[in-house]
Structure 1
Amino acid sequence: MDLSTPLQLIGRSAEFQHIVEVLARDGDLLITGVPGSGRRTLVRGAAQEVGAIVLEIDCIRAIDGQRFVQLLAETISQNWQPAKIQDWVAQNASEFFVLNLEGKLKLLHSLNQKQLWQAFEILLQLPQIIAVDLHQRVVLILQSFPHIRSWDRNGLWETTLRREIKVQTDVSYVLIATIAESSQQTDETNYPLETVQLPPLAKDVLAVWAREILHTQGLKFDSRSQALQLFLDAVQGHIGDAMTLIRRLQTLCRPEALITEKEVQQAIAELLKDLSITFESLLMLLPANQVHLLECLALDSTDKPQSKEYIQKHGLSRGGSLQGALTGLQHKGLIYNAEQGYRLALPLLALWLQQRLS
């Protein structure tokens, strides 16, 4: 392994290189993985590598078309001089937008549905105009993009966005989603997206990464103990949970000290205690059949939850209800798909459930 690789890219070098190549040739991307798998870090790093301007929108905040256009407008207008935005509004979009005193592009309140749609179509041309003016590529990152389908029932907004970005020569569209999105074929024939999947990191790769991060803080695992193994078992190849656990270890251990099993156990116990309110809230938001399945998979992992034996053993309901729960948990990024054996995607949640149910 090349240790000159930036720490956050260790174990993801091939994916990183692929993303750089796609962005450099004006490609568009779908990046799938669970929360905390490094999806945004990779895209931001790759965009920097090709010298692109990054525009980033969290689609969970887009509760309808109007909010989506507003978020898009604010994000795009942050990356160009206010005077140029003002000129663009005056020439193209004065009936839809206004530039406020803070230099933010705002939608006019009185727009009807037809005008909102016109505003959206005009706005989608702006990233290309900015890219040409600044002689820089633009990368539009849409975090949790599938969320817009909750109100874009006919896929009209998504299709228009894909079509527009496809014809723009200096703008790349990067859709960030959970692994479940890999199997969704939304208009893939007309506007195909290259897919990059981020599986969990292999244990040996994560071990190198963790050692390197700790080394920068003057800390290391005690090689005579099972501390490193305990750490790796707890985080299951998940970068986000590994980073959270490392931060906790840094607060527990003094510099130049060896990390033993005791410190790792203490760090895990403290983290689970701190996260318990978050995890409790999460379970309250899930349907009962998804909670039940999540608990079963945490206590008794299997790559065949649909098997007759597993269903009988755990009192699961057969057929559509079980398949619906599996699909729902995958879409929320809480479990991996069949390729990864349906295991829980957030290892600390799995540990917390095991502790709670034992």
Structure 2
Amino acid sequence: MLSLRVRMRTTPIPQSKNVNLDLSTPLQLIGRSGEFQRIVEVLAQDGDLLITGVPGSGRRTLVRGGAEEVGAVVLEVDCIRATDGGRFLQLLAEAISQNWQPEKIHNWVTQTESEFFGFHPESKLKLLRPLSEKQLWQAFELLLELPQIMAIDLNQRVVLILQSFPHIRSWDRNGLWEITFRRKIKAHTHVSYVLIATIAETGNYADEDNYPLETLQLPPLSRDILAMWAREILHTAKLTFDPRSAALQLFLDAAQGHIGDAIALIRRLQTSTRADGLISEQDVQQAIEGLLKDLSMTYESLLMLLPANQVHLLECLALDPTEKPQSKDYIQKHGLSRGGSLQGALTGLQHKGLIYGAEQGYRLALPLLALWLQQRLS
């Protein structure tokens, strides 16, 4: 299991009388209660977070739940869509527009007398184009003040969730936007930011002295916890795994502790119309096969976006899992490239959240993708 790295504090953590962690945690967060409690504590104290895990591990669900516990307004920006600095600013402006009254935004634009932003009839804060590089930077610094102003006006905390935040490095080559962003938000007493990334990003935030950033890692759920969760979910639909069959074991083998893939399978199983309410091994197998068929085009598109060496390595790890893909025997067996090419492929797949690192034995992080590859290549 991956380790959960949490900075120890020397002072006691104040507990809000309005936060009831154990009773208010929704069913989807079963197995993440420790991480959920820590998120609530950090956000309640104006802290900032880096949450790492693979897609579908519950990162955003945990943060949204934690923000709700502390009564915060949530702003979300998908950094994959931020293809440059101007696009990043526009996405942030849109997130603010969705969570603040139009008249307040209009007043802010008027009061700042900004040449960079405009307020349009559809009640949206817009970045005026075109802007020079200098103007874009000035607009960036100006806009970063707005979440604090918004929080004070609403008398609520603001939590800014930045999904796939490391993606901005594709255009922020010198890290200037990233450093300035962290410095600005850290100075705001009513705003927290949460960076959501893959596990490979865990060690990439070295400036802890100036801008402390607590890191939470989300490992796969254990089989026991996932089994309990699945039973509870299915119980609401008056369904249960047939105890006389291997249905539950087949479900757990397919999900491999991945909450996203487990949810997709549960949704399939909930459509069962069996009169006795018992889910058989055949029902689970049919659900898996149907889901793989529906996901086939998505997975084909994913492979088309990957470099050839990453596709080859992904296929090898799906068909022949190993904890030592760098070993001489494994390289020779599958015709892999030696040295930097192999390590580059491993690193690339980890940064994309497609495989785990050495802690999880380099296994595929998306179990249904692994099953699809096995089916496709067999």
Question: 113, 121, 127: which one pairs with 2:141?
Answer: 121
Deviations 1:298-350 (A, max 9, x none): 11111111111211121111110010000000011100111111100000000
Indicate yes or no: 2:363 matched with 1:304: no
**Aligned partners of 1:300 and 1:110: how far apart in 2?**
52
Question: After alignment, is 277-286 or 181-190 more displaced?
Answer: 181-190
Gaps of 5+ in 1: none
Q: Tell me, what secondary structure is at the counterpart of 2:324?
A: coil
Q: Tell me, what secondary structure is at the counterpart of 1:229?
A: helix
Q: Tell me, what secondary structure is at the counterpart of 2:137?
A: helix
Q: Tell me, what secondary structure is at the counterpart of 1:251?
A: coil
Structure 1 vs Structure 2 CA RMSD: 1.3
1:93–1:157 distance in 2 versus 1, CA, 3 Å: farther
Indicate yes or no: 2:89 matched with 1:57: no
**Aligned partners of 1:137 and 1:206: how far apart in 2?**
33
Residue in 2 aligned with 1:72? 92
Counterpart contact for 1:211–1:221, Cα < 8 Å: yes
1:144–1:116 distance in 2 versus 1, CA, 3 Å: same
Deviations 1:198-226 (A, max 9, x none): 00000000000000000011100000100
Indicate yes or no: 2:17 matched with 1:17: no
Deviations 1:218-273 (A, max 9, x none): 10000010000000000100000000011111123446510000100111111111
Indicate yes or no: 2:302 matched with 1:282: yes
Indicate yes or no: 2:52 matched with 1:32: yes
Indicate yes or no: 2:122 matched with 1:102: yes
Q: Tell me, what secondary structure is at the counterpart of 2:159?
A: strand
**Aligned partners of 1:9 and 1:32: how far apart in 2?**
16
1:330–1:83 distance in 2 versus 1, CA, 3 Å: same
Indicate yes or no: 2:153 matched with 1:133: yes
Indicate yes or no: 2:199 matched with 1:179: yes
1:248–1:3 distance in 2 versus 1, CA, 3 Å: farther
**Aligned partners of 1:236 and 1:37: how far apart in 2?**
11
AA aligned opposite 1:7: L
Percent of matched pairs sharing the same residue? 80
Structure 1 residue 182 displacement after superposition: 0.6
Residue in 2 aligned with 1:48? 68
1:157-196 correspondence to structure 2 within 5 Å = 157-196=177-216
Residue in 2 aligned with 1:201? 221
**Aligned partners of 2:55 and 2:262: how far apart in 1?**
13
Question: 367, 370, 377: which one pairs with 1:347?
Answer: 367
Gaps of 5+ in 2: 1-21
Q: Tell me, what secondary structure is at the counterpart of 1:252?
A: coil
**Aligned partners of 1:99 and 1:78: how far apart in 2?**
13
Q: Tell me, what secondary structure is at the counterpart of 2:271?
A: helix
**Aligned partners of 1:12 and 1:154: how far apart in 2?**
35
Counterpart contact for 1:218–1:255, Cα < 8 Å: no
Question: After alignment, is 57-66 or 104-113 more displaced?
Answer: 104-113
Q: Tell me, what secondary structure is at the counterpart of 1:322?
A: helix
Question: 128, 133, 142: which one pairs with 2:162?
Answer: 142
Structure 1 residue 21 displacement after superposition: 0.5
AA aligned opposite 1:271: L
Q: Tell me, what secondary structure is at the counterpart of 2:160?
A: strand
Question: 332, 348, 366: which one pairs with 1:328?
Answer: 348
1:251-262 correspondence to structure 2 within 5 Å = 251-254=271-274, 256-262=276-282
**Aligned partners of 2:127 and 2:178: how far apart in 1?**
20
AA aligned opposite 1:126: L
**Aligned partners of 1:291 and 1:8: how far apart in 2?**
32
Question: After alignment, is 187-196 or 313-322 more displaced?
Answer: 187-196
Deviations 1:107-132 (A, max 9, x none): 11132111111111011001001111
Q: How many matched pairs?
A: 357
AA aligned opposite 1:343: R
Residue in 1 aligned with 2:315? 295
AA aligned opposite 1:44: R
Structure 1 residue 83 displacement after superposition: 1.5
**Aligned partners of 1:228 and 1:84: how far apart in 2?**
53
